[in-house]
Structure 1
Amino acid sequence: MADSGEGRRVCGMPEKAQLHVAMLLLQFGYAGFHVVSRLALNMGISKLVFPVYRNIIALCLLVPFAYFLEKKDRPQLTLNFVVQFFLLALCGITANQGFYLLGLDNTSPTFASAIQNSVPAITFAMAAALRIEKVRLDRRDGVAKVAGTLACVAGASVITLYKGPTIFGPSGSGGGGGLELAAVGGDKNWTLGCVYLIGHCLSWSGWLVLQAPVLKKYPARLSVTSYTCFFGVIQFLVIAAFMERDAEAWKFHSGSELFTILYAGFIASGVAFAVQIWCIDRGGPVFVAVYQPVQTLVVAIMASLTLGEKFYLGGIIGAVLIVAGLYLVLWGKSEERARVARDAVSGGDREGLLVAAAAGGGGGGIVRSAGNKAASAATQPLLLPSSTPTDNV
């Protein structure tokens, strides 16, 4: 952890305990987003209108903090930065959230959350392919990261290709639960939905890899996120101009519709973002990522109670493989960080020690190698979701 947690107390609670409580609340907040998003789709909210309103709310929350807190850290905005922010938005907002909603519409909140656990492994694979991350199969940490990545791929494949028999279904659902409606009702397609969710994870991971060099040149995370969110809104509006011309789609027809959008904007993209940044700063990216599977469990319980969701053998097997792969990747990153720290100490390299403390993996963390030294990690600022939301989602 970044801090021992004994020196800072709030209401008598040590910082270490605060971090654990904050992470649990964060997972509940993100889990609620999955369920709320599914409810929004069930109510007929447009898959284009929903992210537009959500990102407008998130932008309104982020801009004041970015403007006042990063005045000294924010470089001058140039055309080159504008292009990079636009591309980040295309990958991390538009494709990320668009694929997520398309996938969720065809599957279920539980399996959308389960597949998201593969993001750290996919990010590692992308970073390795681009030679941002070194793959060392002669060390335990390297083998663990590769094995974890393969397990995540296998898990996602099982969820996509094999549904299997029903393992659990809430009594009284009468075969018309939320999952069954999503899977077989109308023009819904389970396999296609899983493919969309894999596209969501690929977009999310690509965004994490792409933002690493941007943050190195533009070291103002809130500002980068604000610009990304702004261009994401513009892109969704342009798409909506061609594909969502019904004026009624932009109106709220009930308090429930308004609630889902406010929850997505304020909780999933606003409050959750602030809590996650604090937890990453004080606990490190690995600590934050370890809690990710808790979200899947909470989503499963929420979806079962509110949507009557059923659980299938293929989904459970796939989720177990993905979570196992996640922890293998996290363990490998943790071992790598510890090894770099030991090497730095034995070599008397103070700079290497400081870098080793910053380098880490999981939850979107990636390490850039420069010679034998690691550089800083880039972590997911929003879930979307998957945005953040800008995703976790």
Structure 2
Amino acid sequence: MNNKQKALVKSTVAVLKSNGADLTQYFYNRMFNHNPELKNLFNMSHQASGKQQHALAGAVLAYAEHIENPTLLINILRSIGNKHVSLNIKPEQYNIVGLHLISSIKEVLGKAATDELLEAWTQAYHELAQIMISIEDGIYCSNLNKNGGWKGWRTFIISKIVEESMEVKSFYLKPKDGQPIAEYLPGQFISVKTYIPSLGYEQPRQYSLSSAFTPKYYRISVKKEKNQFNPDGIVSHIMHSKLAGDEIEVSAPAGIFHINPLSEYPLVLISGGIGVTPLLSMLETNENNNRNPVVWLHSCRDQTVHSFKDHIDYLEQNNEWLTTHIFYENKNKEDDQAIHEGRINLHEVKEEILIDNAKYYICGPEAFIKVQYNSLMQLGIAGENIFYEEFGPQLLHLN
């Protein structure tokens, strides 16, 4: 792009931001009307909630704002690239998205969308697409070069199902072909894809791998959402209805939220609800490797939804390197007296979590992450030592 084109793109950011909802709604409606096959790739619950639209607008406009130096967004682009790889996004699909995005920009800007401006946006999108394709090609190649690695979807069999709480089941997945599976970093996720009869097409979902790596299986732990007719609950209800022996399509492990299993720094793990899953993988990996000091803070509604409680209690009782603080929003008289009542308050336990050279990992709902991140910053923790995983479209950019 030349400087004039960059200036044209940047000049439209403000108006597109103010019309972000219209832009993305028009985009997705147009794309799914012309290319309905893409419904098999996109999480339609995030379409219904508007989260996907918000995430797309945020990413595209952030790129436009930083058009002169897009490397400032490299971590965001890498995160998106990992999601795309887990969905087996292909380079040619960027052309489809680009066509509908430029048409949507034209629709929103109306008479202001001159041919010169649309050409500048077309060139900007082309350059963004090339950056993403390059990032994703690198991840695909890395996956293929791993022992047991693969590209795209691979059929796995559910070998075992374990109830972890009133809402959560763990699924043990083994490859149907009996060949090795790729190793992963603790905290990463896989995508699973299953047919949804009520929709008439397949739906993918990302689930964190909830155990340390073992060459025998992958384990994911799925929370059953309350309303199966709510778009957010469709896949979780289908998953909870599956039986041992059922088949499911799985992508190779991906994700930038992880620890270095060989590192020697202390860990402070902060989870809310089902956010326990990637942190449990970190904890089990630490147990198998360095046994660095770990402080884990976990918050959930009550004991009935406290997944992996017995397992983590056992680890704490048998390992001096692990300390836990559990918070129940609804604490009963029968609950352990050591359990805190209410939600996590990091200031309440600051003496135990302010550890030299520690790394802090947060996982849970969007509001939960914001509260814990801000608390850590107030306590003097540097942003570069705080990492977080937001389930669903990436709406938070706190670092």
TM-score (norm 2): 0.26
- Specify the structure having the higher radius of gyration (Cα): 2
Which structure carries more helix by proportion? 1
Which structure carries more strand by proportion? 2
